[in-house]
Amino acid sequence: MGDDAALVVGLGNPGPKYENTRHNIGFMVVDVLAGRVGGKFSAHKRSNADIVQARLDGRQVIIAKPRTYMNLSGGPVASLAKFFSVDPANVIVVHDELDLDFGTIRLKLGGGENGHNGLRSTSSALGTKDYLRVRMGIGRPPGRQDPADFVLKPFSATERKELDVWCEEGADAVELLLKLGLEGAQNRIH
């Protein structure tokens, strides 16, 4: 792969039980990206992930969904980065974010994991926190609901009405990152 190859990973949990949950917004966004390039996910056995190889905005891109549960997603991310020789600075992780209101999208490089097990696993496996993040805001749980329970629940009926558009916007954010870099993409989105 070229020096500018990028790895775009959507975080989520495998299986139909989790398919439409808040924790799987990363999977939903990369599904949109794969659809845009006309790709179908196929197993990449060496990494325990499903991938689509494509070109986006002139760059070689691997779009991926780990086949592991969220808290073990770092292994497949690091395996893919190594296999395709993608530097962590060119890894983009799309994930749910409790600290942002539903429908909000924010981009950043590095930082803490805020208790997000998928990010913690990814940082540990990559050996750095310095990778790009597309933070998809899901909001805080209502009342005293446990955040761990909240993220594994399906989106509300009201949220589902906006979900398709929001996933498209998440995919747009990834494409802007690939095309303009972090600062340029942040200027368009934030």
Q: Are 104 and 137 in contact (CB under 8 A)?
A: yes
Q: Which helix (H) or strand (E) holds 66?
A: strand 59-66
| Helix H or strand E encompassing 159 | helix 157-189
* Strand-pair category, 6-10 with 59-66: parallel
Q: For the chain, what are the domain ranges?
A: 6-187
d(CA 47, CA 49): 5
Q: What is the pLDDT of residues 72-106, one digit of tens each?
A: 999 999 999 999 999 999 999 999 999 999 999 99
Q: What is the pLDDT of residues 159-174, one digit of tens each?
A: 999 999 999 999 999 9
Share of the chain above pLDDT 90, in %: 89
Q: Which of 6-10, 50-54, 143-147 has the lowest mean pLDDT?
A: 143-147
What would be the CATH architecture of the domain defined by 6-187?
Answer: 3-Layer(aba) Sandwich (3.40)
Residues 6+ apart with CB under 8 A from 33: 8, 52, 56, 63, 171, 174, 175
Res. 65: pLDDT tops 70 = yes
Entry pTM: 0.96
Beta-carbon contacts of residue 3 (< 8 Å; ≥ 6 apart)? none
Confirm whether residue 24 is marked as ligand binding: no
Q: What contacts 7, CB < 8 A, 6 or more positions away?
A: 61, 62, 64, 77, 80, 81, 84, 86, 90, 91, 92
Q: What is the mean pLDDT of the chain?
A: 94
Does pLDDT of 190 surpass 90?
Answer: no
Q: Is pLDDT at 13 greater than 70 in this prediction? A: yes
In the predicted structure, residue 133 carries a pLDDT above the cut 70: yes
Residue 3 has pLDDT above 90, yes or no: no
Confidence band (pLDDT; 50, 70, 90) for 5?
very high
> Which is the catalytic residue, given 23, 44, 95, 116?
23
69 annotated ligand binder: yes
Distance of CA 25 to the CA centre of its chain: 8
Confidence (pLDDT) at 2: 55
To the query of whether residue 95 is one of the catalytic residues in this protein, the response is: no
Whether the predicted pLDDT of 1 surpasses 80: no
Is 90 annotated to bind a ligand? Reply is no
Whether 18 has a binding-site annotation, put simply, is yes
Q: What per-residue confidence (pLDDT) applies to 31? A: 97
